[in-house]
């Protein structure tokens, strides 16, 4: 039975491996035909930045991995307007298509899911 | 009811690992079941049988082993996260031509599908980080 | 839903972030270094979570703190919040998680 | 003395704590997730460390950021701070540490 | 030759092992006849709280370990008034004798040392 | 001049370990010396020879080994922090009656006095966490 699962990515890419490991969980879950949504909360918003050149630090590119998600029919990627603003980021700086929501809508987004897990 | 655990913390660097053990014991004593304990990120170090704490310190690997034996717990370490961090069963050691290993049953290495399975088939999944 | 606060609010922004998205009916458990939130004015004075001045029914256990973590650190629940914050043991922690539809850890 | 800022200021209070005790002549290197300080208004507008409006001599390298970490994350030095923040490589990082009497890491 | 070494303890006890491991470094260094000072900065101030009952979490008592320091002639323990105030702590709640300084004095304290390391 | 390193981070959970390697290489290339690299806290996992990263990932233990061999570096892991976390040389494995081990030369286990010695005898000590 297909369930709705929300994975919350709360960490910036690279400094910690948690963002990458959270994404690996998303890719695994997608392969099992679950209905996955991703919420980039707080510093998770930095995962969306375009022009990431992670070859300079010998780590795999987080944005390139995120770009694979549509192939798995994962298209519900969310970020809040407030997290972008507080980080001085505009939508034009993001490297993939995301749905920008209000912080006030996050609680509802979580409550709508069958399962939630944060990385 | 049933609750699974996701453990992300290094066993001796964070109190979180001790808290997870207490939670697991309390849940089992209350008659709930724990379909799976999944170790990921820094948590993959939890299963190393080489842990040699001082006598007045908890032996975290041993405590999980005892709990697993008593309650038939499923202790799964993420294989991809474990291999890079140096946590191998004898099978993996053979596969990668290593002479040594540090993970034994009841701990086992498996994929992230086991975490998804735990999340889907538990009333709750609690993360300790 | 239940929020598990696992880091000190003086060191990590995680409690701050949690409070930004929490709902008025959410429950909270302070655990591990998260219990230091008891010393943090921004938490104790938070209008969202300490909103229900008439409801002092402790059975609701909306704001809880793990007693072992409290005692270990030499902390106590502030006098001002004796009616709104409840210390619980691990058995109650288990019940709390299972009585909520979702649990989210903040670290 | 030199401060190595190793965590994001949006997640950790470490940069905040560093700025509270830093001296006016201290040097700073943003590295690892510390480079996200470039997106943090409280850092960019900090009067203590960006105090010397007349001194645009880049050789002083008072505020630096590790170029590899900057590029990896898709960040750039803001236009407003092109004269006051310098991107450096690891060879310069080494020199910077050795040119200071003390180095303190914040994490 | 005896050097002046400042060890800065920045973490609360127990949640992370770093506070304990930093203290182990202090105790080792003291045994080698160095002139050690400790600065409890930020959440490090929580290490000083009296009534710590760490047996409840199966970890060694941090305060008890700090109480040993005078036996090693380590008596320069510092905490800032501002860190105490921000954490709603008064001096009477501290379990060992410390020197309360102003935050503005921390920079000088560091500069006076031969070596500094933070945990 | 000379600079020692204190490494507190888990090799694969934090980018810090990669940064420390780059710093060490740059310092050595510039003609400076590194009297000691000391691994403490989560950093004690750096020396595990069981690390089995994917082929497109850095092998951090191996990179330290190569650097140590080229420049005769002194790679010291804190013995107390390492034992509890399951990082043992064959000598320690024998001492504690373990059949397996995971630390070999040029990594060695030693006490915190080696960290003090590094701090006292270096122009700088840089912490990577």
Q: What integer pLDDT is reported at residue A28 of this predicted model? A: 93
Q: What integer pLDDT is reported at residue A33 of this predicted model? A: 87
* pTM greater than the 0.90 cutoff: yes
CA dihedral D39→D45→D46→D47, nearest 10 degrees, is 160
pLDDT digits (tens, 9 = 90+) for D58-85: 445 689 999 999 999 999 999 999 999 9
- For residues A56-93, b (16+ Cβ closer than 10 Å) or e, as one string? bbbbebbbebbeebeeeebebbbbbebbbebbebeeee
F77 has which bridge partners? F39, F109
Q: What integer pLDDT is reported at residue D24 of this predicted model? A: 86
Q: Are the CB atoms for E77 and E46 separated by under 8 Å?
A: no
Question: Can you give the length of chain A in residues?
Answer: 119
Rounded Cα gap, residues A3 and A35, in angstroms:
6
Q: What integer pLDDT is reported at residue D54 of this predicted model? A: 52
Please list the alpha-helical segments (H only) found in chain C: 14-21, 41-44, 67-72, 90-99
**pLDDT of A81 higher than 70:** yes
pLDDT digits (tens, 9 = 90+) for F86-107: 999 999 999 999 999 999 999 9
Q: What integer pLDDT is reported at residue D47 of this predicted model? A: 85
Q: What integer pLDDT is reported at residue C61 of this predicted model? A: 60
C-beta atoms of A42 and C13 within 8 A:
yes
Residues of D in contact with F123 (CB under 8 A): 98
Which pair of tokens denotes residue A20?
A: 């990458």
D87 has which bridge partners? D65
**pLDDT of E21 higher than 90:** yes
Rounded Cα gap, residues C44 and C38, in angstroms:
7
* F contact test, residue of B55, B65, B100 with most F CBs within 10 A: B100
Which pair of tokens denotes residue D38?
A: 């470039």
F21: which residues sit within 8 A by CB, 6+ positions away?
A: F58, F60, F63, F64, F67
C16 has which bridge partners? none
pLDDT digits (tens, 9 = 90+) for F3-56: 999 999 999 999 999 999 999 999 999 999 999 999 999 999 999 999 999 999
C-beta atoms of A53 and D69 within 8 A:
no
Residues of D in contact with F19 (CB under 8 A): 31-32, 66, 69
Lowest mean pLDDT among A85-99, B114-128, D50-64, E77-91: D50-64
pLDDT digits (tens, 9 = 90+) for D78-106: 999 999 999 999 999 999 999 999 999 99
Interface subset of B 17-46, CB within 8 angstroms of C? 19, 22-23, 25-27, 29-30, 32
The overall average pLDDT reported for chain B is: 98
**B116 interface with A at CB cutoff 8 Å:** yes
Closest to B75 measured CA to CA, from B42, B41, B47? B47
- The whole-number average pLDDT for the span A84-99 is 98
Chain F meets chain C (3+ C-beta pairs below 8 A): no
D81 has which bridge partners? none
Cα–chain center distance at C83: 13
Q: What integer pLDDT is reported at residue E92 of this predicted model? A: 97
> For the CA atoms of chain F, what is the radius of gyration?
14
**pLDDT of A91 higher than 50:** yes
Q: What integer pLDDT is reported at residue C60 of this predicted model? A: 53
- The whole-number average pLDDT for the span B125-129 is 98
Rounded Cα gap, residues B124 and C99, in angstroms:
10
CA torsion through residues D30, B12, B69, C101, sign: negative
**pLDDT of D57 higher than 80:** no
**pLDDT of B92 higher than 80:** yes
Residues of F in contact with A16 (CB under 8 A): 13-15
D41 three-state secondary structure: helix
**F32 interface with B at CB cutoff 8 Å:** no
Q: Are the CB atoms for E118 and D105 separated by under 8 Å?
A: yes
F125 three-state secondary structure: strand
Closest to D43 measured CA to CA, from D79, D1, D85? D85
Cα–chain center distance at B72: 13
Rounded Cα gap, residues B13 and F81, in angstroms:
9
**A113 interface with B at CB cutoff 8 Å:** no
- Cα–Cα distances (Å) from C32 to A29, B9, C100, F70, in that order, read 30, 12, 20, 44
E16 has which bridge partners? B14
**F28 interface with B at CB cutoff 8 Å:** no
CB-closest option in F15, F56, F58 to A15: F15
Q: Where are the beta strands (DSSP E) in E56-98?
A: 76-80
Q: What integer pLDDT is reported at residue C52 of this predicted model? A: 59
Rounded Cα gap, residues C29 and F70, in angstroms:
52
Is B78 tagged catalytic?
yes
Residue D25, number of CB atoms within 10 A of its CB: 12
Residue A35 banded pLDDT, cuts 50, 70, 90: very high
pLDDT digits (tens, 9 = 90+) for C40-65: 999 999 988 887 555 555 445 689 99
Rounded to the nearest angstrom, the minimum Cα separation between C46 and chain D is: 20
Cα–chain center distance at B102: 13
Rounded Cα gap, residues B4 and B125, in angstroms:
5
> For the CA atoms of chain D, what is the radius of gyration?
12
E109: which residues sit within 8 A by CB, 6+ positions away?
A: E6, E37, E39, E78, E101
D57: which residues sit within 8 A by CB, 6+ positions away?
A: none
The overall average pLDDT reported for chain E is: 97
The residue written with tokens 């403490």 in the block is: F40
Q: Are the CB atoms for A48 and A11 separated by under 8 Å?
A: no
CB-closest option in C26, C101, C105 to A118: C105
B75-78 and B37-39 beta bridge pairing: parallel
Residue E112, number of CB atoms within 10 A of its CB: 11
C-beta atoms of F12 and B52 within 8 A:
no
Closest to E62 measured CA to CA, from E105, E94, E101? E94
């Amino acid at each position: 039975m297909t369930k709705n699962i929300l994975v919350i990515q709360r960490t910036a890419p690279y400094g910690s491996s948690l963002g990458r490991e959270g994404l690996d969980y998303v890719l695994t879950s997608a392969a099992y035909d679950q209905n996955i949504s991703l919420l980039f909360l707080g510093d998770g918003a930095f995962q969306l930045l375009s022009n990431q050149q992670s070859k300079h630090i010998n780590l795999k590119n987080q944005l390139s991995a995120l770009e694979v998600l549509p192939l798995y029919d994962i298209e519900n990627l969310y970020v809040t307007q407030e997290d972008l603003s507080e980080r001085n980021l505009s939508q034009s700086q993001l490297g993939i298509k995301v749905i920008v929501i209000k912080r006030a809508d996050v609680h509802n987004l979580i409550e709508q899911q069958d399962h939630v897990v944060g990385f | 009811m049933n609750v699974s655990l996701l453990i992300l913390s290094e066993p001796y660097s964070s109190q979180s690992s001790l808290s997870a053990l207490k939670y697991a014991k309390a849940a089992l004593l209350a008659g709930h079941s724990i379909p799976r304990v999944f170790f990921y990120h820094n948590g993959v170090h939890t299963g190393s049988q080489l842990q040699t704490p001082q006598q007045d310190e908890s032996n975290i690997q041993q405590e999980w082993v005892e709990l697993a034996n008593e309650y038939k717990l499923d202790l799964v370490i993420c294989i991809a996260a474990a291999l890079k961090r140096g946590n191998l069963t004898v099978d993996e050691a053979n596969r990668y031509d290593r002479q040594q290993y540090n993970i034994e049953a009841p701990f086992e290495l498996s994929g992230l599908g086991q975490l998804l399975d735990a999340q889907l088939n538990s009333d709750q999944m609690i993360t300790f980080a | 839903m239940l929020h598990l606060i696992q880091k000190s609010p003086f060191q990590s922004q995680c409690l701050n972030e949690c409070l930004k998205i929490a709902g008025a009916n959410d429950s909270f458990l302070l655990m591990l270094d998260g219990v230091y939130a008891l010393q943090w004015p921004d938490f104790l004075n938070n209008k969202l979570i300490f909103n229900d001045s008439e409801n002092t029914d402790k059975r609701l256990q909306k704001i809880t703190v793990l007693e072992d973590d409290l005692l270990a650190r030499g902390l106590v629940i502030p006098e001002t919040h004796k009616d709104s914050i409840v210390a619980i043991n691990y058995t109650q922690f288990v019940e709390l998680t299972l009585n909520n539809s979702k649990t989210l850890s903040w670290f």
